[in-house]
Amino acid sequence: MTPSPDPSSEPAPEHRFDPTRAGLWAACAAGALLAAEPLWAGGGTHLVSVGLGLVFAGLAGAAYGLVARRPSLARVLWPAVGLLIGVAVVLDLGAIDRLGSKDAALAWATVILAPLGGAAFGLWAIYLPRLSAERPRLLALLMPLAVALLVIADRTLFPTTYPGFHMALRAATMALTALAGAALLDHRRALVLAVVGLGLALPSGWGTIGDAVSRPLSGLIVDGARRLTDIDGDGHSHLLGGGDCAPLDGAIGPDAPEIPGNGVDDNCVGGDGEAVDFQPAEAVPVPTTPSPMSVVLITIDALRPDRMSVYGAERPTTPGLARHFPEPGQRHGATYTAGGFTSIAVPAMMRGVLPRRIHWTSVVQTNHLRLFRGDRPLPELRSGERPVYRYGLPVDDPHRPLAWWLARRGMATAAVVDDGPSKFLEARWGTAEGFGRFVEVPGEEDDDARVADAALELLDGLADGPPFFLWTHFYGPHLPDDRRPGVPTFGDDPLARYDHEVAWADLQVARVLDRIAAMAGPDRPIAVVVTSDHGEMVWGPGRMRSHGRVLHPHAIRVPLLFRIFGAAASPPLPDGLRSTVDVMPAILALTETPAPAGLDGLPFDTPRATAITEAWFWQADGRLGLDLIGALDDEALLVFDRLRNVAALYARGDDRLPPQNLMGQRDPGALIEQISAHIDRSGGPPRLGTAR
């Protein structure tokens, strides 16, 4: 009788890498990851994104398996791929250009760590099969942990900036998921996990393709598929919601300018555009009587109303404004900027037209924060100096600014501005047009006290003359933060330091308002408007600060205070929406100055049903890196990402980051029509060297 073999004496079966099983598991794992994405990205999921994720991860897993069968190839290929990804991140972030700037420490860290991290990722891919065979439980713990860390990093580290950095994090998340499937479990366990992931997503319901594009991981897959299906090379696909209405004609697409009256929907918005009325200055009558009042416009950079005690904030940040604007009708709570950056917002405010209609002159910014005209050869740059961004400034814009119209009708005009180190408001960029005196406070000082001193000196010179217009721009709460004397210190966290800077700006603005109150009287009324160019976001575990890259309520909502000093009573600001482009026509109305036709702004006493806000920037080579258009009504904010052809709908007061996307749950209706009409009216994307 032959004895039965002892199972414990048999050698353990050798772990064999099966690329077919690996591809199947990778597909299931990626599908589960995408299906569970609503847990951290909000909203529902979409079958298209999951399906694309399955295809991507399946191919990735199979490719990994084929390479893994050839160890000599794997040892060279994976570190090389990882290193190239790291270098791509360095280039996309412009880290090399920033080595000689104020961000040098962060730039050096990026230059060193990104390639090393990519190479380490490649080494990890080499040893996955061995780790799967020898320590499968350790791998089962490490891989989900690594994916979770990548997701957390994507959501918390610079969530509104550095798109290349986030793309790398998301690509690494998907790659790790594929690698996990390629090295870890058999297909039965993979299917169970995929079913669990789908079960997590189903209760939230299936959304739209736009919902998928707006998510971090599924959006990465959809964007990649759109690039592969861009037949005519115009940067947009006709599939998967890419928005290209003429897939075989590269001259027609979302980036094409809309030509009014040619019978063609050039920009794929829907229908032919209509020409915009533009009235030359010569056709506008000049008043023959003096202005009934003087006007002072005070703008405070990066100021958000919810941090101002005059609007109800708990900390005493704005006692000076509260003292001078005591009545509820003097404080408006639903005013939104027309542009997310100072370079967009201030020109639009001063012209009463939305930013997309302005004639923008190309201006290049270097890593030394110097500005040069981009439509001319650049001068010889300093050692280590390189172009990093391209902006538009209104050097040759045909829309005359507010000061020009007021000076034309006989008012004295003066301004004092502090734009910090950015220099966007320097006189050479068209900001000084129409001002008899234009004082620039050196940006390196970053001191609102100097702005107030200069404003008081200007007021002394204007006191005995004709009605005047004075504009003062305080750099205020904009970064960097400093300790200021004479105002409360609320703490050391970024939000407390921001509030401290708001209190400092308020102290200096109050000095100017005190002088105005003393000058004004029944025979010399002075209207004062206080607002901001844009808001400011303070978010994340590190409480980062930013604006301009997203149309978040904290970044686009601004204060609006209005009072006529010296008058028996000031007309109250009516309820409803207001836009910063309303400032120009409102001041024209106060001074009884005829307004040109074709303005987008409305006087303060004219109701506004909707408002438009925009944000964009160009890369140094002239490519648009961002193009967002937002439309607001009394309840909602619709944000359209024009480059990705995707829209998101938010409740107007939703301050979360990101807010909950209500697309699919509420009808955006008229807001979509407003954005489409604005794109057609303005000709499409923002352009350097053109105007509408």
Please tell me the predicted confidence (pLDDT) of residue 161: 63
What local confidence, expressed as pLDDT, does residue 692 receive? 43
According to DSSP, the residues that pair with 618 across neighbouring strands are 390, 624
pLDDT of residue 681: 83
Distance CA 362, CA 287 (A): 35
Q: Where in the chain is the domain with CATH 3.40.720.10?
A: 281-375+385-444+471-682
Please count the other Cβ atoms lying within 10 Å of the Cβ belonging to residue 10. 8
Residue identified by tokens 């994720």 is 53
At 6 the pLDDT is 47
Q: CB within 8 A of 328, min separation 6: which ones?
A: 572
Collect all residues with Cβ–Cβ distance below 8 Å to 519 and sequence separation of at least 6: 459, 463, 526, 565
CB-based contact 242:229 (threshold 8 Å): yes
Distance of CA 26 to the CA centre of its chain: 34
In this predicted structure, what is the pLDDT of residue 543? 52
Pick the CATH number of 281-375+385-444+471-682 from 3.90.79.10, 3.90.78.10, 3.30.70.20, 3.40.720.10: 3.40.720.10
What is the pLDDT, as a whole number, of residue 528?
98
SS3 at position 338: coil
Tokens of 622: 């002239």
Q: How many CB atoms lie within 10 A of CB 225?
A: 18
Predicted pLDDT of residue 458: 97
Output the pLDDT for position 690.
54
Q: Which amino acid is at 69?
A: R
Distance, CA of 573 to CA of 579 (rounded, Å): 13
**Residues of the chain predicted below pLDDT 50:** 1-2, 4-15, 40, 43-45, 185-207, 541-542, 691-692
Q: Which among 478, 600, 451, 494 is positioned nearest to 547, based on CA atoms?
A: 478
| Helices 71-92 and 163-183, axial angle in degrees (round to 10) | 160
| Token representation of residue 280 | 């030359």
| Residue whose structure tokens are 């299931």 | 28
Q: What is the largest CA-CA distance in the chain?
A: 125
